[in-house]
Amino acid sequence: MRTFFDCIPCFVRQALDAARLVSDDEAVHEQVLREVLRAAAEMDLRQSPPAMGQRIQRMIRRLTGVNDPYRDIKDHFTRVALAMYPGLKAKVDASPAPLETAVRLAIAGNVIDFGVDGEMDEAKVRDGVAHALAAPLEADLDGFGSAVARAEEVLYLGDNAGELVFDRLLLERLPTEKVAVAVKGAPVINDATRADAEAAGLTGLVEVIDNGSDAPGTILGDCSEAFRRRFDRADLIVAKGQGNYETLSDVPREIFFILKAKCPVIAQDLGCEVNSLVARRSARAPVNGSPQAN
């Protein structure tokens, strides 16, 4: 997805929110603001929004001298999610449609997104769960189930720390021996890195790899070659969250996008209402049907 004009004021607001979250120093807030304004003025709008997110977060890390400013937030939300996990797992197990319930809960976890909401808290996570269990879900779950069954390798692109615990509920319904989960190669916002996958209990369940990048999404050209090989080789890509949708929606291969459409620009691009639960097979699947076409 390209960057829309409406993303620009939102970048500036996000940068200010992020600067305030990681520093109390007004001089830092002002420097971040001025730098992001200059960067946005020259931005190539054909890039996806996470390209600017990556620049903003690098700027904030540089200006604050803190390499992982969201470390405490990430740890906190992993703990919050782990405390909810047993109850949610029981819900999936008791569900007449466990795959659907697991997909809904994976979407619920997608609210833990400090790129969108810098005032996220535990109550909002609980609201997200209630909403995700009740709201309409437009999803071809049979298609998803058979694509997983057919695949020799499934690559699940994770999104945020804490959210991974919710993903675990879905991963546990998949043939884990052929599933790998990818996390970010370095800290960016509250996106999950390897430490968060470990804390979420994923390393004992599936293979965990990292993508070598610090973009809040999957900018393939910015990922490591090792990751790109895995991406090309996988028969099925499951891409979690807005950042992965924004960076991969135009990639010409079949991808299952699972997310909550939290922003109006993404909702419009998807053709749905804001806050919709989305589990959708990429419209960009190649005509010959080969998942290796990329």
Rounded least distance, CB 165 to a second copy, Å: 32
Q: Work out whether 250 is an interface residue with a second copy (CB under 8 A).
A: no
Q: Enumerate residues 6+ apart whose C-beta is below 8 A from 291.
A: 151, 234, 235, 236, 253, 254, 285
Site map (CB under 8 A) of a second copy, residues 42-81, x = contact: x--x------------------------------------
* DSSP letter (8 states) at residue 187: -
Q: Which is nearer to a second copy, 30 or 93 (CB)?
A: 30
From the CB of 36, what's the least distance to a second copy, in Å?
Answer: 9
Number of Cβ within 10 Å of residue 8's Cβ equals 18
Distance CA 114, CA 291 (A): 32
Smallest separation (angstroms) from a second copy to the CB of 42: 8
Minimum Å gap between C-beta 19 and a second copy is 9
Q: Which pair of tokens denotes residue 31?
A: 């420097």
Nearer to a second copy, 10 or 133 (CB): 10
| C-beta closer to a second copy: residue 29 or 253 | 29
Number of residues that bind a second copy (CB under 8 A): 20
Asked if 172 contacts 198 with a C-beta cutoff of 8 angstroms, the reply is no
Asked if 189 and 53 count as a contact pair (C-beta separation under 8 A), the reply is: yes
Those residues with Cβ within 8 angstroms of residue 285's Cβ, 6 or more apart along the chain or in another chain:
253, 254, 291
Interface stretch with a second copy, choices 11-19, 127-135, 154-162, 177-185 (CB under 8 A)? 11-19
Q: Closer CB to a second copy, residue 35 or residue 196?
A: 35
What torsion do the CA atoms of 151, 155, 160, 162 make, to the nearest 10 degrees?
60
Instruction: Give dist(CA 40, CA 22) in Å, integer.
Output: 21
Q: Is 140 in the site for a second copy (CB under 8 A)?
A: no
Pure H helices in the chain: 7-22, 26-41, 49-64, 71-94, 98-109, 122-134, 141-150, 163-171, 194-199, 225-233, 241-248, 264-270
Looking at beta carbons only, is 42 or 72 nearer to a second copy? Answer: 42
Q: Which residues contact 30 (CB under 8 A, 6 or more apart)?
A: none
Check residue 233 for interaction with a second copy (CB under 8 A): no
C-beta of 15: minimal distance to a second copy in Å? Answer: 8
Q: Which residues in 12-41 contact a second copy (CB under 8 A)?
A: 12-13, 16, 26, 29-30, 33-35, 37-38, 40-41
For a second copy, the closer of residues 13 and 229 by Cβ is: 13
Distance in Å, CB of 28 to a second copy, minimum: 11
Q: Which is nearer to a second copy, 30 or 127 (CB)?
A: 30
Closest separation in Å from C-beta 9 to a second copy: 4
Q: For residues 101 and 92, is the Cβ–Cβ distance under 8 A?
A: yes
Structural tokens at position 259 = 């997310």
In the block, which residue shows the tokens 């999936």? Answer: 92
Q: Which residues contribute to the site for a second copy (CB under 8 A)? A: 5-6, 8-10, 12-13, 16, 26, 29-30, 33-35, 37-38, 40-42, 45
